[in-house]
Amino acid sequence: MTSFLSFADLCHRVEEVSSTLDKIDLVAAFLAGLDDEELAISSNFVMGTVFPPGSDIVMGVGPSTLYEALARACGCPNSQIQEMLRAAGDAGLVASRVVEKRRPQNFASFIGQDQLSISDVYQRFVAVAKASGKRSQDAKIKNLQFLFSQASELEALYIARLSIEDMRIGVGEGGVRDALAKAFGRPADAVERGYSLTNDMGLVAVSAKKGTLSDLGVMLNHPIKMMLAQLGAGIPASLKEIGTAAIEWKYDGARVQIHKDGEKVRIFSRRLENVTASLPDIVRDATQMIHAKTAILDGEAVAIAEDGRPRAFQEVLKRFRRKYNVKRLAAEIPLKPFLFDLIYLEGESVIDLPLSERRALLVKVAEPSLVAEQFLSEKVEVAKRIYKEALSAGHEGIMLKNPASAYTPGKRGKNWLKIKPVMETLDLVVIGARWGEGRRASFLGSYRLACVDPETGRLLDVGWVATGLTDEALSELTGIFKELIVVQKGMEMELKPAVIFEVAYEEIQKSPNYSSGFALRFPRLVRVRDDKSLEEADTLERVASLYKMQRGRNKSPSARSESAGQE
């Protein structure tokens, strides 16, 4: 068995180098020497995940749980841990110092039987994730405390970071993909396709080792990344690009991927989280109105008000977050699914079929009331009419889709174009917060935002947002972010990156005050996009592109309209 110490040493060396290629070489060399079980675990661990997306179990460890485990491990009060955090700024470094106080340096290395293996750490994480019931929090803390009692300083650093799934070593999905390709001599695009179809890096790693990547395919109960749309440059230009298009309403709801396996239904969110328990009405509709033994379907869940119009997007997300009193909230905010694509049917993947054929199969297996309306046309006036109808009904706009296109998981391209009359916005990661003042002193009143550097995976700040937030929203957000506080220093705090804000702004400016080199002028929160994963956050490249677009204009690109009649 491979020791966890060797994995921790790998992470330390990867963290120390700045070159992406050097990081990949280090990871590849390590992964190449592991057995199948360790390979599956480590391929996820190295990019900061414990279980693959859509798994029935999730870590469920917030910073506060971790800090309590550390306090117990060192026999000190939680307040002392908080002081150490303020000084170190990193939960991993605090864990390392706690262990250093607990026993002599490298003591574990002298006693072979005390050394943790990669599998040992994983099994403890499984126990943490499976803890449930009234004493679940205590069980989580005790399992983490046990790991810290057995760990060396270096191991503790990465156990702490792994437990909150925030590794900070600069290796993401792309890095692991390239490392696996290098380790086992496989084409990177074959590794990437395997991951896009299974969303399970551990499974892909073992397949790469065995040379069976071509055997991987879409599987029931393994969510795959959803196909994404690109913003269209108005209806005329978009139709000129696509030609005859499949025109659909762009619903103001939340994306759902429905897996039907006989009488069993599972539902996954856009972030590929299992949200089945929160959506009993969608489960009921899928069970009763999808006439296929096995199927994976793509669609939108919309909250319909009594007047037939969609309710606010945040109302929809309340349903997805709900863990308790699910039936009561389902009665208050009923959801209706609108299905627009098919991914898998009766044991076979259909993603490589053209949209027109997938649509024909969808219509055959789903009752008409579940299927989103679609119109085929190349005429601008037809698309404009449908666009106006969608807006009048309270939805976001329309989708123009290429009928000949395959379903490409996780890809954003010109085969799906969205047309909507909104300001240009950015999807940014919340990485920090500041307590409010006056009557908002009990709320986190402003939030630090970041874009992603695609080269390194680092989050680069672009400023703060404090407007567009009602007291009700601030109260709800404060409750969410309190569980994500990593370090607090005075009025400000660092947050675990987990939530995306959609932000409008007046202008993008150059700024040496932020690590991105840019700042948003008059940013305003449009909505919380906790239906989106961190991988969908906007990149530094997009921020720079928008900055260049606005130069020389009298009007900021943030006011650019994508209205139906405008090119």
Catalytically active residues, by annotation:
250
**What token pair was written down for 543?**
């921020």
Q: Which residues pair with 494 in a beta bridge?
A: 432, 487
**What token pair was written down for 185?**
């001599």
Q: How many CB atoms are located within 10 Å of the residue 335 CB?
A: 24
**Helix (H/G/I), strand (E/B), else coil: 88:** helix
Planar angle of CA 544, 534, 536, nearest 5 degrees: 55
CB 500 within 8 A of CB 427: yes
Q: Which residues pair with 20 in a beta bridge?
A: none
**What token pair was written down for 99?**
């262990």
Enclosing H/E stretch for 270: none
Residues whose CB is less than 8 angstroms from the CB of residue 273 and which lie 6 or more positions away in sequence, other chains included: 53, 54, 58
CB 443 within 8 A of CB 456: no
| Alpha-carbon gap, residue 538 to 550, rounded angstroms | 17
Alpha helices per DSSP H over 19-77? 20-31, 36-45, 63-74
Of how many residues is the chain composed? 567
CB 344 within 8 A of CB 296: yes
Phi, psi of 341 (to 5 degrees): -155, 165
Residues whose CB is less than 8 angstroms from the CB of residue 520 and which lie 6 or more positions away in sequence, other chains included: 426, 449, 462, 463, 465, 503, 505, 507, 508, 509
Residue 482 DSSP code: H
φ/ψ bin of 438: left (φ > 0), alpha (ψ from -120 to 50), beta (otherwise): left
Judge residue 247's burial from the number of C-beta atoms within 10 Å of its C-beta, 0-12 exposed, 13-18 middle, 19 or more buried: buried
Strand 228-231 versus strand 412-419 pairing type: parallel
